[in-house]
Chain A
Amino acid sequence: MKSNKIFTALLVLVVMFAFTSSVNAGGKVYKLGLSLAITGPTSDAGNPYSKGVEDYFKFANETKILGDDKIDCTIRDDQYKTDITKRNFEDYLDQGIVLYLNYSTGSTLGLKKDFEEEKIAVIPASFHRGNLENSNYIFLPVASYSEQVIVMSEYVANNHKGGGTPKVALFLHPSAFGRGPLADTQAAVKAGLNIEIVEVVEHGKDLDNTAMLKRLMSKGVQYVISQTIQSPVATMLKDAQRLGLSASSFGEEGKLTFLGAHYTGGNDLIALAGAASEGYFWVCSYNLTSEDTDGTKQQLALAKLYGRDDKAANSHNYANGIMVAQVATEAIRRAKAAGLKVNKANLHKILNGMNGANAYHPYTTVGPVTYSPTDHAGVDMLQIYTVNGGAFKKVGVPLQSAFMGKIQ
């Protein structure tokens, strides 16, 4: 008899637990999916990015940003392989996602037609401008790589020391991701941007860049703008320092000043290049934790809340992940507030209307997210940072490219 009572009590407890854990107090659950490289190539960026997405959605659910409704975002590793990304995407569609978060340039380009057919809004971690060509559903989180490289080129043109046209070399990743800004930068030069592109280097996996750096010097190159990932830049910076070719201040004559776009910089670069990273100029649309702002405080608090280590908490790719999750959450919130059904079509519509007074201001970025049917690049503002005393510090105020509008 006694054992029967115990059994009944246990059964009740199990049933109660099952219900409390699975039922969402009457709220709706919105399915989202993220496929990215948590392992394999570029996982150094993908890993903190995934943590940013995971933490923010968890935070949004726990703090009831969407009321009783919740976001259920499945995150899967695709090892930077388009085949696996496609499989993940198909799975997410089967699950009924309302918005999709993608990662690499290759897979975003590869699945572009699927996005169009499915009419689903997609926010990738790739800022490749080619993603937007013949596409109505891809939304870049921030200004494209092209715009980043052109902003850097403009900065060079405006702050060049010495006479004549500044001579620039582009140091590119040998892929669509790296090559993307080349044609746009060349077009900007044709449109009047006052720099001379002396050489375009597509780097391999070189462990020594002595020959390349000497060659650039012999051609009179004064500025090297990189569009790649951190490790080849770190190797180049260390070699330049070893050879005594690094400029001690921006544009120092007879020396090389190094600059780069989003994925070339951040704390990982400082960790890899050490003292050689001093004086490296980097452009990014995100607030960095090396600068004390309200936004970075919130980022660090979020990381602390979910027990992230310092490396992840201070990564600009963690901020990047938080930001796309913020945009997705905000789009759902606005759709609900407007009395619209949260579905693929309405989220696409809401994102397209995120401009003017409706622009969205996430705490992670240096400017507002502004999308429209003709502009799918989110944050247009770019902040230049430079390594000073082992940390990235702001240089001036956020700016926008003057030439990008002329070449589009």
Chain B
Amino acid sequence: MSANTWLATGNFYTTYKQEQKTFFTSLDRSVFTFFLIILFAWPLFFPLSNKFMLVIDNTLIAVVAVMGLNLVTGFAGLISIGHAAFVGIGAYTVASFCRTMGDTHIIITHFWPLMIILSGLVGAGFGAIVGLPALRLKHLYLAIATLSFQMIFQWVINFMTFFNQGQTISVGRVFWFTGKVGRKDHYFFWYYAILVVVILLGFGFRNLLKTRYGRCLIAVRDNDRAADAMGINPGLTKVYAFALAGFFAGVAGALHAYVYRGVGFESFTLHESIGYLAMAIVGGLGTLNGSFWGPVFIKFLDLQMEHLSEAIGQYLPSGMNLTTAMKPFTFGLVIVLFLMYESRGIANWWRITKSYTKLWPFRY
């Protein structure tokens, strides 16, 4: 192997530590750094309207939530169809503080990073509790257990007066070093805040997979009895997976509460849980980059279908029913097509593209 990492033509590892590196070559690191710079810089040069900034914020929040779902379903092999409820736990943690202290209390408006972390921790706590049935249940039965958590969550929120019986609970505007984040800069500000969260959690996720615990997840997914024989505690691993998924979801929920400046029950229903699952499947279960591709694809498909419906609606005003029905129809169709023809999701296309460009222009 060349001593100069820029000239390396292959990965010739001599130690396990080398294999654990996040970036294998300097080129990898440079490309990634350049990509991050673009992510931070583009809104300054190409400002978007509030609508599109909201869509992007919302997509990034979904990325955080889907990372959690991918951890528990993709890597640990535990089906969770109550993920929106975990996101809701995070959002309602913020909302609970707003209800008890007022939505403009300094803790809500100034210590919002702490609120986000706290929401993640509460989500992790609930995740661990919901994960307990995973000690005894598997496959479809476990899915039903998570579904029941979703139902319990919906019922509690919808009927408890503390949670305003599912009606919107307001969340105040936050403060930054420059002062109060006003309406004009709201979505712009939260783009950067969420982007930082996504990067931190993304690195955390990636590093986790290189640890003993990350390997435990995969071992338990592939064969929990074999994992047990190898000295891994499958029960603890499963509960831990749910707790971590709950943490990611809780953080996503808190971000949702702040971006939308309110928490209402409709954003955390079973339908949303299925949406998260669809994003994970379309993106690619069991891959980190799938957690990015899925939300981006589904959210933008949704938006494009809306634009298409609108365009058709202009020419067929009485055909509005038909055009608006295209959105849910396309959503369902995309999932079915992915399950049929590309069950490994968009992440697989990314893998193929990467391996092609790695060898290009050489065929072999």
Contact = CB atoms under 8 A, between A and B. Distances in A.
26 contacts: A47-B321, A50-B320, A54-B320, A58-B317, A76-B306, A77-B306, A77-B324, A79-B328, A80-B266, A81-B266, A81-B267, A82-B264, A83-B266, A83-B267, A86-B260, A87-B54, A93-B50, A106-B266, A109-B167, A110-B260, A113-B170, A113-B261, A113-B262, A114-B183, A117-B183, A174-B159
Nearest to A202: B159
A175 interface: yes
A39 B332 CA distance: 15
Contacts of A110: 168, 260, 262, 264
B95 to A, nearest CB: 12
A94 B51 CA distance: 8
B320 A38 contact: yes
Contact of A176 (B51, B167, B306, B327): B167
Nearest to A134: B170
B58 A83 contact: yes
B304 to A, nearest CB: 14
Give the interface centre of A75, A80, A90, A112 by most chain B CB atoms within 10 Å: A90
B348 interface: no
B266 A94 contact: no
A324 to B, nearest CB: 17
A373 interface: no
A179 interface: yes
A208 interface: no
Interface in A282-326: 306-308
Interface of A: 38-39, 47, 50-51, 54, 58, 74-77, 79-83, 86-87, 90-91, 93-94, 106, 109-110, 112-114, 117-118, 130, 174-176, 179, 202, 306-308
Contacts of B266: 80-83, 106
Given A38-B324, A81-B266, A175 B166 contact: yes
Interface string B306-320: 100110010001101
Given A174-B159, A306-B317, 11 more contacts: A75-B320, A77-B306, A82-B260, A82-B267, A87-B55, A90-B54, A91-B51, A110-B260, A117-B183, A174-B158, A176-B165
Interface in B262-286: 262, 264-267
Interface of B: 49-51, 54-55, 58, 158-159, 165-168, 170, 183, 187, 260-262, 264-267, 306, 309-310, 313, 317-318, 320-321, 324-325, 327-328
6 nearest CB pairs, A to B: A91-B51, A110-B168, A94-B49, A77-B324, A176-B167, A90-B50
A86 B166 contact: no
Given A76-B310, A83-B260, A174-B158, A90 B51 contact: yes
Contacts of A176: 165-167
Nearest to B182: A117
Nearest to B168: A110
Contacts, number: 91
A82 B51 CA distance: 14
Contacts of A174: 158-159
A86 B317 CA distance: 24
A39 B327 contact: yes
Nearest to B328: A39
Contact of B50 (A54, A94, A117, A179): A94
B350 to A, nearest CB: 28
Nearest to A77: B324
A227 B321 CA distance: 27
B157 to A, nearest CB: 11
Contacts of A75: 313, 320
A76 B324 CA distance: 9
A156 B364 CA distance: 86
Contacts of B309: 77
A77 B308 CA distance: 13
Contacts of A90: 49-51, 54, 187
Nearest to A89: B51
Contacts of B260: 82-83, 86, 110
Contacts of A86: 54, 260
B58 A179 contact: no
A59 to B, nearest CB: 13
Nearest to A54: B317
